[in-house]
Amino acid sequence: MLLDNNRTLNILRKAEVEGYGILAQTCYDANCVIGLVRAAERCRSPAIIQMFPITLAFGKGPWLRFCLDAAHQASVPIAVNLDHATDPEHIELALSLAEQGIAFDSIMVDASHAETDEENIALARPYVERAEKCGIAVEVELGRLEGGEAGLRMISDAKLTRPEKAREFMEGYDAASWVPVCMRAHLLNNLGRLSTGARILAPSIGNLHGAYLNPPNFRQDILKDLQDTFKGSIPLCLHGTDQLPDELFQECIKNGISKININSWGRDAYAKKLAEGLQTKPFPDAVEEAVQEFESLKDSSAFCIKTTQTDMSRNVVLITGAGGFLGSLLARALLSDELTPNVKLILVDVVEPKAPVGAEAITIKADLTDPTQAEGLFRTEFGTPDTVYCLHGIMSRGSEDHFDFGIKVNIDSVRTVLDATRHAGAQSGTLIKFIFTSSLAVYGGPLVSSISPGSDRGVLTAEQPPVITPDTIATPQSAYGMAKLVDEIFINEYTRRGFVDGRILRLPTIVVRAGAPSAATSSFMSGTSHLPCIIREPLRGEESVCPIGDSLDSPVLDTLAFWVASPETTIRNIVFAKHVPADKFLAHTRVVCLPGFTTTVKEEVAALEQVAGKEAIAKIHFEDDPTNRRIVSSWPARFDNSYALSLGFAEDQGGMVPIVQRFKEQLLAGEV
């Protein structure tokens, strides 16, 4: 049970089932780690960061913590492994750090120098038991590889793995075969199962550590026998792989290898590039060029990363709320996204949604408050999604008027889908992206960016910032905003713990949009409600109601401002969110306020008049609604776009007039 969610095992099991190899690259410093993570994220490939014991002994806990953070915060599954831990002092260091909460995902306890298999077991078994209590998977070597490097013991007498001994070595011996009856109970009490109990096996098949002086002669028959023996229960790791041809790797993968250890191939090129750069360039420039060299080598790892791309390019995307306005636009947009090739869509809503024309899609009617139905979304014929877009919910006015139902849908069902995502990712060995559409309704008045002492009574007062920044404290003044903020906290925590790769998008008010009726407080601006929109309906020649103010001359129309964006830009940004590298986000939060611009009701009406004339604005009638006005007045209208733009998100240009003009053209073309 302790290893059910082990990152290394999940990565390797998925690779074995789906027929690709995982690059396990030895990293000697932070630059190598950064280069490997960059390459893995760009190629959308899992990977394993490896370190030798000598590096752990030098950097100890802080170094291991850095590697774990880099791996576990990446947007693709990456694990951290200690390779060739032979000396007891190094194994003890790793396990003591684990007991302090700084734990490798996996460790290779290397007792292959032992004279017999039984001695190998006796040396490895106690460490395996301690490691598993800390949730660490252990790799062992059966047989012995010739050679040595980077502080490893030099071995001169190789010994091939015997497949007939492998199951006993890993999973348990028949004591009667070699132990006298009088000694069996004693040995069983001291050794537990007469096996290593390890979870990953490194076989000796003619491979060696260091350079090959002659063409390698790998015993593929041994791999085939091991594959038949374990049938996927024990992942196989290939050591001694530097400077080997891609075809050999492919053959090994076909015969059951899922983990491929690489050392000097990447290390030497990186070190050479760094040394050359330091002769003529400033230190930061030389380091960056060396990292890029290391990164480019990982990109060209045809035997593992490129074979993995075939799997990753499946791009299975789950969209909840797929029948709504944003969900339907998102599904269509993903079909044309160049960075999401061969996309397969799982479209879910309370009413079975329609799939876009030409899409490879599954459409599902589901109650997402039911955990069983939510978990079923991850067990379709498309397999485990690599991205979840969580768009469903009860809109602002609806959740205000029906509080309990709003909590059930806007909090409980989001948590249910989040947990289903977490469990599916753990079972498949993938870190699933979870993209959540939040709202500027998480803000309310007064907006707080800092707290300062108030009057002589010592009361704390809030200083209202002129614009919303990433540091502004969310203080919702509506049930809808409260629920969105609760969801954000859950997603940030699940991301911190490595359960999901969360991305939280606080959307501006979207103007102008078509779609099925909903209960959005801002619908008079945007258009999805039982209330008509002050842009859409007049453009159609229909009457519209504005719930703000008593007439077109009401002062509130000039002062009540909104933060808005067009549907096209919003959808473009929602799609783009899945492509942002994980390390680009702020370390403490995955929240991003999507770019928008500030407008007022009066400016929106003026844009309508400019595009469609006075006869259009004559269709607008005013019926002031205090509840509506209270809610929308609590929303901020000015944001600092710089953080979102630095991540690569887009913003509208030209204000309201181009948006209204574009919507008019879409109406005339019958597109909305």
Q: What is the pLDDT of residue 212?
A: 61
Residue 301 has what pLDDT?
A: 53
Please answer whether residues 436 and 505 qualify as being in contact, where contact means their C-beta atoms are separated by less than 8 angstroms.
yes
* Full DSSP string of 241-307: -TT--HHHHHHHHHTTEEEEEE-HHHHHHHHHHHHHHHHHS-HHHHHHHHHHHHHHHHHT-TTTHHH
Considering all CA atoms of the chain, what is the largest pairwise distance in Å, rounded to the nearest integer? 103
What pLDDT is recorded for position 308?
A: 41
pLDDT (tens digit, 9 = 90+) per residue, 475-515?
A: 898 899 999 999 999 999 999 988 999 999 999 989 887 64
313-393+411-470+488-668 belongs to which CATH class? alpha beta
**Every domain range in the chain assigned CATH 3.20.20.70:** 7-162+198-308
Phi and psi at residue 529, to the nearest 5°: -165, 170
Coil/strand/helix, residue 177:
helix
State both tokens at 653. Answer: 């240009």
Q: Which fold has domain 7-162+198-308?
A: TIM Barrel (3.20.20)
pLDDT of residue 411: 97
Asked whether the beta carbons of 307 and 253 are under 8 A apart, the reply is yes
pLDDT score recorded for residue 309:
38
> Residues 173, 443, 480, 494: which is the catalytic one?
480
Would you state the structure tokens that stand for residue 330, as one six-digit string?
């998102």
Q: Where in the chain is the domain with CATH 3.40.50.720?
A: 313-393+411-470+488-668
Using alpha carbons, select from 196, 198, 192, 193 the residue that is nearest to residue 234: 198
Output the CA–CA distances (angstroms, integers) from residue 259 to 23, 141, 194, 312, in the order listed: 6, 13, 26, 17
pLDDT tens digits, one per residue of 235-257: 999 987 777 777 888 888 989 99
The three-class DSSP label of residue 508 is coil
480 flagged as catalytic: yes
Q: pLDDT under 70 in the chain at which residues? A: 1, 144-158, 172-194, 209-214, 295-314, 445-465, 514-532, 634
